[in-house]
């Protein structure tokens, strides 16, 4: 069975669109499913806007954009999952939502389909307990933007099979990604390491030590980071960052993961960063 003949992403948010673009750019056909029919036109427009922006930055040509769009089918028809060799669940970072979605996909998918959950902090073993074939479930933690970040964490659950690991590694390599194999632990590598930096930067601003602009400038220029921790948090989405912190704090009990009150305040105000036009900075 060729797992790469028919790939489906379920979830048309920022990560889902970025992942679809990255896969399609390798000339692989992809089906992008969002259960809400009302969102299909918006998802299509957002994807086209992202590609048009890349053209203005000389990162893409018009013909490359058209080639990518031809490779992506955007739909709300969940039944198309039945044709897929790889099904990538790409919805919000919430255990119950992901567990419910994986249960539905498990019922729809053909026998040997691989299930990938795109989680940054949740237990693959615990999610695997919700499906009938946990040996076919694996985690892949992509960083945004997927099309340019060269790394992906591949996370095995307790029952993930060696064959599943081998096939998903092939898939990642086909996308041009370097693979880090992670043994399941809260936060894995990238999330666990970056969250304390982001959280401490927020506390520095809250305590009046320096402005958000100067904190980002200090870390960006002082340590040669491509962007500062607060800009990074805004680009990830402050609601997502808060979810990560709460998950890690709950699982590990370490105070370095206790969310900064300023973060909660911004999330409560729906200032979530780039996606809402305002977070620590305005966009």
Helix (H) / strand (E) containing 139: strand 137-142
Q: Domain extents for the chain? A: 7-183, 190-276
- On the question of a common fold for 7-183 and 190-276, the answer reads no
For 183, the 3-state DSSP assignment is strand
Task: Give helix 62-71 / helix 40-56 axis angle, nearest 10°.
Answer: 150
pLDDT tens figures, 31-47: 999 999 999 999 999 99
| Cα–Cα–Cα angle for 84, 73, 277, rounded to 5 degrees | 115
Mean pLDDT of 105-117: 94
Mean pLDDT of 248-267: 96
Residues 7-183: name the CATH superfamily. NAD(P)-binding Rossmann-like Domain (3.40.50.720)
Band (pLDDT 50/70/90 cuts) for residue 108 is very high
Mean pLDDT of 142-153: 93
Chain position carrying tokens 């945004």:
144
CATH class for domain 190-276? mainly alpha
Q: What is the pLDDT of residue 109?
A: 94
Band (pLDDT 50/70/90 cuts) for residue 267 is very high
228 C-beta neighbours (distance < 10 Å), count: 26
Q: Which alpha helices (DSSP H) does the chain contain, by range?
A: 14-24, 40-56, 62-71, 95-108, 124-128, 162-174, 190-206, 212-222, 229-236, 238-252, 261-268
Q: Are 256 and 231 in contact (CB under 8 A)?
A: no
| Adjacent-strand bridge partners of 278 | 273, 282
Does 140 have pLDDT greater than 60? yes
Task: Give helix 14-24 / helix 62-71 axis angle, nearest 10°.
Answer: 110
Mean pLDDT of 160-182: 94
Does 137 have pLDDT greater than 70? yes
Phi, psi (rounded to 5 degrees) for 171: -60, -45
Cis peptide before 10 (omega within 30 of 0): no
């Amino acid at each position: 069975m060729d797992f790469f003949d028919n790939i489906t992403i379920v979830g048309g948010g920022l990560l889902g669109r970025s992942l679809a673009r990255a896969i399609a750019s390798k000339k692989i056909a992809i089906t992008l499913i969002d259960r809400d029919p009302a969102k299909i036109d918006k998802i299509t427009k957002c994807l086209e806007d992202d590609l048009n922006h890349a053209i203005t930055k000389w990162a893409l040509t018009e013909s490359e954009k058209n080639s990518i769009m031809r490779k992506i089918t955007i739909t709300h028809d969940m039944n198309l999952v039945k044709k897929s060799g790889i099904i990538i669940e790409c919805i919000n970072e919430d255990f119950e939502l992901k567990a419910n979605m994986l249960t539905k996909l498990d019922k729809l998918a053909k026998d040997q389909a691989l299930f990938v959950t795109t989680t940054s902090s949740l237990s693959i073993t615990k999610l695997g307990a919700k499906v009938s074939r946990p040996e076919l479930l694996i985690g892949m933690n992509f960083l945004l933007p997927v099309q340019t970040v060269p790394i992906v964490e591949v996370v095995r659950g307790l029952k993930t099979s060696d064959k599943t690991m081998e096939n998903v590694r092939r898939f990642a390599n086909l996308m041009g990604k370097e693979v880090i194999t992670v043994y399941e632990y809260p936060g894995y590598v990238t999330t666990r390491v970056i969250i304390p930096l982001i959280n401490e930067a927020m506390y520095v601003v809250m305590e009046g030590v320096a402005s958000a602009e100067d904190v980002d400038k200090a870390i960006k220029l002082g340590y040669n980071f491509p962007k500062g921790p607060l800009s990074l948090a805004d680009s990830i989405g402050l609601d997502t960052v808060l979810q990560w912190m709460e998950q890690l704090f709950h699982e590990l009990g370490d105070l370095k993961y206790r969310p900064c009150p300023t973060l909660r305040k911004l999330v409560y105000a729906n200032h979530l960063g780039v996606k809402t036009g305002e977070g620590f900075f305005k966009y």
